[in-house]
Amino acid sequence: MKNVIIYSRVSTDEQAQMGHSLDYQEETIQRHCTFKNYNVIKCFQEDHSAKNFERPEWKKILSFIKSTLKTTMAVDTIVILRPDRYSRNLILSFTETTKLAGLGCEVEFVEGQVDETSPDALLLQAIGYALPQVENSKISRRSCEGSHKARKSGCFTGIAPKGYKNYRNEDEKSTLEFNSDAPLIREAFEKMASGTYSADEIRRWLNSRGMTMSKNTFLDVVRNITYTGKIRVKEFRGDPEEIVHGLHPQLISDELFATANDVLKGRKRNMKFKDDKSDLYPLKGHLVCPVHGRTLSAYVAKGGSGLFYHYYVCTKNRCPRYPIDHAHDEIERLLDEVQFSARVLKSYNSILERIFEEEDTNRTKSIKNIKDEIQRLKQRRNHIQDEYMDGKITSLDYQELKMGLDLKVFEKERTLKDMNEEHSPYKEYLNKHVPALEDLTSLYQKVDGKTKKQILSCIFSEKVHFENGKAATPKYTPPIEVLINTRGVLEGSKNNKEVYKDLLCTLAPPSELELRNDTNLTQKQQRTHDLT
């Protein structure tokens, strides 16, 4: 009677497939051993890849075989379901079989066993060992094709980079979403782009925040274009490498990514970033290149005469550079426009005061309308309660109708509370903020560089760019937009009546603050309306 060991193996992704489960394999092998009248000494089960024999349970089998040599329990045979459960590598299969033969042990398969007495035994055995490797190659090929196609369509395949986690969207496509480390990664890019810190200083800072990584890992993070919302698709069977837009969210801007990598590669100019140059370059951070969309940097160049010349420049080659005196004059020209607009508003103060009084009157009327609407909703709610008590509607209908009315009452009461607490923003704007803008340019010229930066942040909502050497019309912050638009109305109208009418539109509350009638009632809400 042969002494045998039963060996069952699965890969993690095979466990749920028919015929691959460990229990199924062991049960089938046990029946085979009973039929053959084998003495089953021990059973081994393994969840590991068959690409090689560096498997925990397989090593235990070899140790067990060696420990039973020259005993009555010496192992004669290892019984396995199929060759692909044994190995998926032709060369390693023969090598391991030879090693077992040296220990006086052979391998037997329940399915696909070769008759050792046949002249073609070696060939058939080679085919049996080769088929799993061929199948593996096909699977790998299909996986590569599928991965390439998925990445071209914006899916992310593979392990998520730091700051992201793997995720399947509503269409079951593989992509990424942020994890708790995302803010740290974004800050790391910002530190890198500033040029103030070395790459290793930022890496150690991340390590102190719990994101342990090696030097090479951090450099790979900085170079990884995935953080810009894009995916690098490598060359595949003649298709050239390309970069596509991914389905995942963008963690950092293209500009920040490019700047950080320029610093990493040493392409940025050697500047003393730790020195405060706000007084010399107050516009740094507020100007943008119209060609590349990059924030303009600043530097000093030494001329042939030994004099130094200061410029605002784009970090890309062949872009225009702007002398700081010219750039400062252009920004002050824009501030003059804002200052002039503030002075225009002052001259029309009486007209604006009338508009604010009208606005307060309208707000009072709106408050009364909301109160009436709340009272009407509460009467509806009492009515459906009476209907429920009289048995005219079911408990389920009552609960749904009441819930809808409670929600409406809550929303109206919240709107009422906000309106009661609201004061005219325009009146406060005219009396407090506009006077501060009447001497804006003079104020700007007197303050230091840091204060100038703060003033510019309050005036411009986006960075300013130059066109043909002149500062282009910028985008202002909302308060300044109101100022500019109001000035346009005041200067363009012909008489007081026209001014009054046009200003009502210019200074109207934003659409989201206006009271709107509910026009889209659900079926249950319509029933509530019908019951009243």
**pLDDT single digits (tens) 467-508:** 888 888 888 887 788 777 777 776 765 454 454 444 444 444
Which element (helix H / strand E) includes 470?
strand 470-471
**Residue stretches of the chain with pLDDT short of 50:** 16, 18, 269-274, 494, 496-497, 499-532
* pLDDT at residue 358, as a whole number: 61
Element (H, E) at 446: helix 440-446
How far, in Å, CA of 247 to CA of 175, rounded?
6
pLDDT at 197: 80
Contact 393, 401 (CB under 8 A): yes
Report residue 499 as tokens.
């001014």
**Residue 244 in contact with residue 233, Cβ under 8 Å?**
yes
- What's residue 20's pLDDT? 62
- What pLDDT is stored for residue 185 in this prediction? 94
> What number of helices (H) and strands (E) belong to the chain?
19, 13
Closest-CA residue to 110 (of 39, 46, 28, 38)? 28
Phi and psi at residue 105, to the nearest 5°: -125, 145
What's the pLDDT tens digit per position in 258-288? 888 988 887 554 444 445 678 888 888 899 8
CA angle 469/470/473 to nearest 5° reads: 145
pLDDT value, residue 525: 42
- Please give the pLDDT value at position 477: 85
Q: What is the pLDDT of residue 184?
A: 93
pLDDT at residue number 531:
34
Per-residue 3-state assignment (H helix, E strand, C coil) for 376-393: HHHHHHHHHHHHHHCCCC
In three-state secondary structure terms, 430 is helix
SS (H, E, C) 486-530: HHHHHHHCCCHHHHHHHHHHHCCCCHHHCCCCCCCCCHHHHHHHH
Domains located in the chain, CATH noted? 3-139 (3.40.50.1390), 164-265 (3.90.1750.20), 347-513 (no CATH)
The model's pTM: 0.36
What is the per-residue pLDDT across 191-236, written as a single tens digit (0 to 9) for each?
888 877 888 889 998 998 889 899 999 999 999 999 999 988 888 7
